[in-house]
Structure formats: C-alpha cells, structure tokens
Amino acid sequence: MPLFRRSPSNQASNNTNLNDGTNTMNEACDGYVEFGSSASPAAAAAAADADAPSSSLPTNVHHTRKPNRFREQFHSFHVMASPYFHENRNGRCLLLIMVILTLSNSAVRVLFSYLARDFWSALYDQNIELFYSIMAKFVGAMILLAPINVAYRYQRQKLAIAWRKWLTGRVLRLYFANKVYYGLERQAAGNSVIKRTSEAYDNLGEDDAAAATTTTTKKSTTSNQSTKEVDNPDQRISEDIRSFTEFSLYFFLTLITSVIDLVCFSFILFSIMPQLFLAIFAFAFIGTFLTVCIGKVLIRLNYESLQREADFRFSLVRVRENSESIAFYAGENVEERETDRRFEYVIDNMTMINIAQRNLEFVTTYYNYLTWVLPIMVVAPEFFAGNVELGVISQASSAFGHILDDLSIVVNSFADVSKFSAGIDRLYSFMSAIMELDPERRSMGKLLSVVPVAEFNGGISSISTGYDAIPMPSQSSDNVIQVKRFDPWVTTAPSFDEASNSQPSTILFIIGLRLATPDNKRILVDNLNLSLASGSHLLIVGASGSGKSSLLRAIAGLWSTGSGEIVRPSSEYVYFLPQRPYCPPGSLRDQLLYPSTDQKDDHFSPTRMDGNEHRPDGGPSPSDQRRLWKDWTDDDLLKLLERVDLPHLAGRAGDGDPYRGLNAVLDWTNTLSLGEQQRLAFGRLVINRPRLVIMDESTSALDVVAERKMYQLLNDTSIGGEARVGELTYVSVGHRPTLLSYHNLKLSLRDSAGFVSEIPPNTDMVDEGFILS
Ligand SMILES: Nc1ncnc2c1ncn2[C@@H]1O[C@H](COP(=O)(O)OP(=O)(O)OP(=O)(O)O)[C@@H](O)[C@H]1O
C-alpha cells in the first residue's frame, strides 16, 4: 500500500545497486523499475551504459556525429514507430489493450490513495470498526487488482515482442532486398579509410590532437554525410531495434500514466492544499532544468557507447573468423594491440559516462530527498494545529510524490532517455541508408515501405521476365550501368538489333560498357561490346588489376558505376563461382544445395518460424528460390560427390556412414581445404543447373587433373534437365594457360579496352599468341 513514498535511504540503496550494474535499461523496460515509484531510472540507464563503450574513432575526435534535435528526433521516431501500427491490426489491438490496462492501473493507484488515507485516519482515531472495514476493502481491492497489475506487465512485454518481431522482420526484408546488405558493406569499406585517417590523430600529442580535432571532425562529418556511413548493421538490427521497441513502449505508457496521474492527483492535492500544488510545479521545473543542463552530455556519450561496443565486439569476431590466417602470420600481437585499442575506447567512454552520471546523480539524489520531506513539512503545521487528520498527511505526501514523478520524467529517466535518443539516431540513419541503397524504394521516400520485389535488377534497370519486356538498348543514363534480365525459358532470344536480326540464341549481351571503380576514380573497361551465344565458353584474361573480376561484378549487378548496358538471364539461371566459395551454416546436404534449399527440411525458412506462410512482418515468404530441376535423393548426392572428386567426404563427416554424413553439421569453411570447397562448388552447380555459369578463378586451388575433371563436368552438364536441350554457357576468369583448352572464345582486357578473339580447337597451351595476361 503506497502509504508514503520511498524513503531517501531506500533510494540511495537502490541507486547503489543500479550503479553496480544489477539493473539496466532493459530491466526498466521489463517493469522492474517504474518511473517515479522507485529509484531514479537515470541511474538504471547509467548502469546499462556501464556495460558499454569503444569505437574505432579516437577519444579526441569522437564528436563527429551530433545527435538530432528534438523535433528531428520526434520525426525519426514517428516514421520508424508508426508503420507497425498502421499496417498491423494485431498491433493496434495489443496497443488498445495496453492503453485500457494503463488506465485501469492508474485507477488502482487513485483507489489505493483513498484507502491509505482512511486507513491512517482510522488508526489515529482508534476507530477499530472503520479500521477493519478498510482492511476488508483493501483485501477485496487487492484480489481484484493484482491481476490487472500482472496483466499490465505481461501485455506490455507481449506487445514489445510482437512489435520487435514485425520491425526486425521488415528491416531484414529491406536489408536483403536488392542486395542492399552488399551496398552497405561496400560503403563501410570505403569509409574505413576515413576512419583510419582520423585514428592517426590518436598518435599525436594532446595539444596537437586537440588542434587537429576540429579539422578532423569537419572532414569526418562531411564524409559521413556524403556517404551515409552505417557501422555495425548487425548490432543495429539485433540490439537497437530491440531497445527501440521496448523502450518506446515503456516510455509511451509512462507518459500516459503520467498524464492521468497528474490530473487525478492534482485534484486530490489541490483539494488538500492549493499552495503545495503550485509549489510543486516550481520545484519540478527547477529540477528538470538542472538535470537537462548537467545530464545532456549523456546523449552523445550514449550514442558513442553503442558504436564503440559494437566495434570492439566486431574486432573479436573478425579474429575468430580469420583465426587460421592470423595464426599462420603469427599476427597475434597486431590483433591484440588493435583489440586493446578498441577496448580502450570502450573504457574511455565508460569512464566519461560514469563521471557524467555521478554529476547527474548529485542533482537527482538531492531532488529525491527533498521530495520525500517537502510535502510533510508543509502539511505538518496544519496537522499540529488540528486542522487535518494524519491520513491527510499520508495522502498529501502520496499525491505530491505522484505529481512530482509525473512532472519529473526528465529528471527521473534522463539517462534512459538519452540512451533511447542515441538509439533513435542510429536506427534512423540505418533505415535511411538501406532505403537510399534500394533503387526501387529510394523514390518512394517512405522509410519502411516495401515494394514487391520480383528479382534483383542490379539496382538500376527495370525488371524483365520475358522477351517482350526487355527494352531495346537505349542511351544509358550518365553514370549508371543498365542491367536487364530475361527468363531464358520464357524467351526464345532477346534481340538488340532487330535490323540485323542478331543471333537467335544469345545469352549474354554487353553493349557499350564503360565500367569504373565504385569511387569513379578509375575506368577499368571502356566501350566494351560483347554478344555471347548460348553454349559458348568464354575465357576472360588480362593482367592482375585489369578489371576481370570487376567485369563479373558488373554482370552480377553489384557494381554499377559507368554506363552502357548488360542483358543477361535472370538470377536463378546464372551461377557465379567465386574463388573462395561461401559455405553457409548447415549440413553437407545444405552445402551441396546452396543457394537452393531442401524444401522438405527448411529450418531457416521464415515460413517455418511460426508455422505459416509469412515473414515475421506479415509479408509473403520469399518466392525467388532457385528451382531444382529434380528431387535430389541421398544416393544422388553421394554420386555427385564422387563426380566432383570428393568420394569420401560424406563418409568422413558421418564417421563412416555417408548417409549420416550428408546431415552432419560442421564448420565447413574451416574443415574443408580450399580445393575441396572449390570442387564442392562445382557440385552445387550441377544441382542448381543454371543456363550461364560465371567463374572467377574458381579452379585456382586445383591441380590440372582436377581442373580438367571440373571442366569436363561442366561440358557434360546439359541445360534443360533430363530433356538436355542444349549446352551450358560458361565464362571463366583465370591466369592459367591450361584454361585455354576448355574455352572457344577469349576476351583480353588491356588498357581499359576489351578484345574478343576465337580460340582455335587444340590450341597449344604455350602458343605465344595466347599468353594469359
Ligand atoms: N571497392 C573498390 N574501390 C575502388 N577500387 C577497387 C575496388 N575494388 C577493386 N578495386 C580496384 O579495381 C581494379 C580491378 O580489380 P579487379 O579485382 O577487377 O582486378 P582483376 O583483374 O580481377 O585482378 P586479379 O587478376 O589480380 O584478380 C584493381 O586495381 C582494384 O584495386
């Protein structure tokens, strides 16, 4: 029963616990710390921050990103928070239930305030009958109202979970659409140069560094603005969205509670003593003003703590992922130094947060002591004069506490709010970046809107799924390569020069291609024209750095700086084999089927997550899965492993039982040699049966015999499944002379120009004319 507000000593002890890190903002969100009714959540958030900080930015130049102003932040909050409630009926219902429960909870508080008043008055008057009648009412109210309180917390968390599920699902959908994740990484790689430049200031003396800070800050800010750097997207998706949904809800409901409490308890307090009612506003105003002045530095520090913590964690993940290479180089010292350096940034920021928190707590602690004693001091003379009963003091104190808490949201939760504010900035910049990187959404201008994505179109051109839909070559826009796609089964053949009625079975067209590096500093290929007939085998050669891999990136639609046009089959009919194949987490079967999935056992499919056909945000599940041209039984897969020269792999993985081995889940990247991974990738290729294969030094780790086997496999792999309607087309990039015998065409890249020539059959590998560079 809230007879009196918490005593200062309780507050102090709570604060101590919070500072020990035993309470966090999450706990506040979970309802363990309530606004006003317990320790200052400011301390709670500070404790949360105590877990934090480090960044790749040096301590003396970490003022590079100013958090937005309040209005901008409110706008950011609104555009990120509202779509869930607009689009999702279930979310609106859950919110409505929450509002009703919040109102009920407030009614409970008012009811208890009156019960407490009568309780103390009955005790003072020694009115036994009244005392027991109040106790009976209290028990009745308790039985009735406890479920409301429990339901309030339960429902709040339920809504937070539903909201997080939706928002994370939506962001993941937008992140994977149109290869946005790749664009983000490319930007981050570019920006790491900027970071390194600013880190160089770390090595300066203090004075020099201070002098340098201004310049660096300016430079970094400009760069960040132009490139929209987004660090650690993983953290933003997993951590920032979680705290955003939980805290938003917590804060919103607290605001509602505060407004209701403010109205109800204002009536009570005004009826008891109007002077006290007016004094409370002045008191709250002064407290808030001092808190904002002293605590505002926490907003920036919290912003940085999120980034620094993520950078530190990322440096450890990187070591884990590259442990073998680091071990071979014996590069532990370098790695340790780098990790230490990032950890120092964490500690620096933690220390600064701790100091800012200490300063803030001077204000909040004095403030809380005063709020305990102030109303009693004011009402006590009336009580001694016999004008009011003891219960009135209790009620005045309680009402004073409630009102003050309502007016002191800023004082009581400044650190929480500052952390929340930093989270809004991070999340908003992330969502803006993924919108900017998606050409189909950029013009829509809505942060979380989705467009039906039929297929990736290279980020530049319209989506084409049939011959008729393919536009004729047109003047390209100035600095963007147009990538267009067609379905080679629907379309007999795209023709770009109707007048000459060009080749009926052409599968890849490159028209007037000018390809530059993403920073647009170097032209790699200029005015390249190529028409590749279905069934041809093209070898791309050129000196190291001449742009061979970059040309493949352009065909894939990953690089688009330049001009001209590329027309190619749509994604499910093209298969890219990089030098180092990617091994996804999963079984040996998953390695073979990738990127197709075994529909019968698709643990990762969003459709399996909740047993329905939808993504977490309610959208239809991804439909662009590659079509397997037949069911692959265990025996088929084992035979295929033999064909790619890996006959013992399944048996090894299954401790002698190859069938079990197909289901074995291992860290395949670190278990298989590079040559084994490359052969496994050829197995995938057979399973996925594309129309066009593009290989970037994909046999570099194989000996010439294995290489011949793999190319033989390609030549034996017909298109059209069992129907065998034609030959596979493939394009290889490589330096080895042995590759010549597997190709009939050669594209030489030299001085930004491309020369296409035929490779006569049985070409002598050491023939002067075919040196591969
Ligand atoms: N993200 C990038 N930004 C700017 N330049 C880049 C980027 N990635 C690569 N380059 C540059 O583009 C050029 C072409 O690179 P590419 O990987 O296509 O060469 P390559 O011909 O495949 O070389 P190699 O035979 O050594 O594999 C190189 O000079 C490289 O430094």
Q: Which atom of ligand 1 lies at the shortest distance from residue 553's CA?
A: 18
**Ligand 1 pocket list (CB less than 6 A):** 517-519, 524, 542, 544-550
CA of 578 to the centre of ligand 1 (A): 14
d(CA 229, CA 585): 29
Over range 243-269, report the average pLDDT: 82
Full-model pTM: 0.67
CA of 551 to the centre of ligand 1 (A): 10
Assign 3-class secondary structure to 164-194: HHHHHHHHHHHHHHHHHHHHHHHHHHHHHHH
How far is the CA of 499 from the CAs of 315, 472, 474, 495, 503, in angstroms? 58, 12, 15, 10, 12
- Token pair of 643 as six digits: 């064909």
**Which residue among 525, 546, 560, 748 has the greatest number of ligand 1 atoms within 8 angstroms of its CB, and so is best to mutate?**
546
Q: In this structure, are residues 480 and 472 in contact, taking their beta carbons and an 8 Å threshold?
A: no
Best-predicted range by mean pLDDT (12-21, 493-502, 643-652): 643-652
pLDDT at 216 over 60: no
Helices (runs of H) and strands (runs of E) counted in the chain:
27, 12
d(CA 170, CA 485): 26
What is the model's pLDDT at position 677? Answer: 94
pLDDT category of residue 92 using cuts at 50, 70 and 90: very high
pLDDT category of residue 491 using cuts at 50, 70 and 90: low
**Which residue among 522, 539, 773 has the greatest number of ligand 1 atoms within 8 angstroms of its CB, and so is best to mutate?**
522
Per residue in 603-616, pLDDT tens?
Answer: 444 444 444 457 77
> Which residue, judged by its Cα, is nearest atom 19 of ligand 1?
545
Respond yes or no on whether ipTM tops 0.90: yes
What is the model's pLDDT at position 96? Answer: 92
d(CA 161, CA 335): 38
- Token pair of 652 as six digits: 């090894």
> Which residue, judged by its Cα, is nearest atom 29 of ligand 1?
545
pLDDT at 6 over 60: no
> Which residue, judged by its Cα, is nearest atom 25 of ligand 1?
544
Q: What is the CATH number of domain 9-54+68-436?
A: 1.20.1560.10
pLDDT category of residue 518 using cuts at 50, 70 and 90: confident
pLDDT at 281 over 50: yes
What is the phi/psi pair of residue 248, to 5°? -55, -45
pLDDT at 219 over 60: no
Residue 266: how many CA atoms within 13 Å on its side-chain side?
12
pLDDT category of residue 627 using cuts at 50, 70 and 90: low
pLDDT category of residue 504 using cuts at 50, 70 and 90: very low
What is the phi/psi pair of residue 747, to 5°? -115, 115
Q: Is 73 exposed, middle or buried (0-12, 13-18, 19+ CB in 10 A)?
A: middle
Q: Which atom of ligand 1 lies at the shortest distance from residue 749's CA?
A: 21
- Tell me whether strands 562-569 and 506-516 are parallel, antiparallel or unpaired: antiparallel
pLDDT at 268 over 60: yes
Same fold? 9-54+68-436, 457-581+690-773: no
Average pLDDT of the chain is: 74
What is the model's pLDDT at position 390? Answer: 77
> Which residue, judged by its Cα, is nearest atom 10 of ligand 1?
517
Best-predicted range by mean pLDDT (38-47, 147-156, 216-225, 440-449): 147-156
> Which residue, judged by its Cα, is nearest atom 30 of ligand 1?
545
What is the model's pLDDT at position 611? Answer: 45
Residue 668: how many CA atoms within 13 Å on its side-chain side?
28
Range name among 137-151, 371-385, 467-481, 631-645 with the lowest pLDDT average: 467-481
DSSP single-letter state for residue 539: E
CA of 546 to the centre of ligand 1 (A): 7
CA of 328 to the centre of ligand 1 (A): 25
* Four-point Cα dihedral 620, 626, 629, 634, nearest 10: -90
> Which residue, judged by its Cα, is nearest atom 27 of ligand 1?
544
Per residue in 55-64, pLDDT tens?
Answer: 333 333 333 4
CA of 545 to the centre of ligand 1 (A): 5
> Which residue, judged by its Cα, is nearest atom 31 of ligand 1?
545
What is the model's pLDDT at position 747? Answer: 94
Q: Which atom of ligand 1 lies at the shortest distance from residue 551's CA?
A: 18
CA of 699 to the centre of ligand 1 (A): 19
Q: Which atom of ligand 1 lies at the shortest distance from residue 552's CA?
A: 18
Q: Which atom of ligand 1 lies at the shortest distance from residue 547's CA?
A: 18
d(CA 723, CA 446): 47
pLDDT category of residue 697 using cuts at 50, 70 and 90: very high
What is the model's pLDDT at position 115? Answer: 84
Question: Count of CB atoms within 10 A of residue 476's CB?
Answer: 19
In CATH terms, 457-581+690-773 corresponds, of 3.40.50.2300, 3.30.70.1400, 1.20.58.100, 3.40.50.300, to 3.40.50.300
CA of 517 to the centre of ligand 1 (A): 8
CA of 222 to the centre of ligand 1 (A): 26
Over range 543-554, report the average pLDDT: 92
Enumerate the domain spans of the chain: 9-54+68-436, 457-581+690-773, 584-671
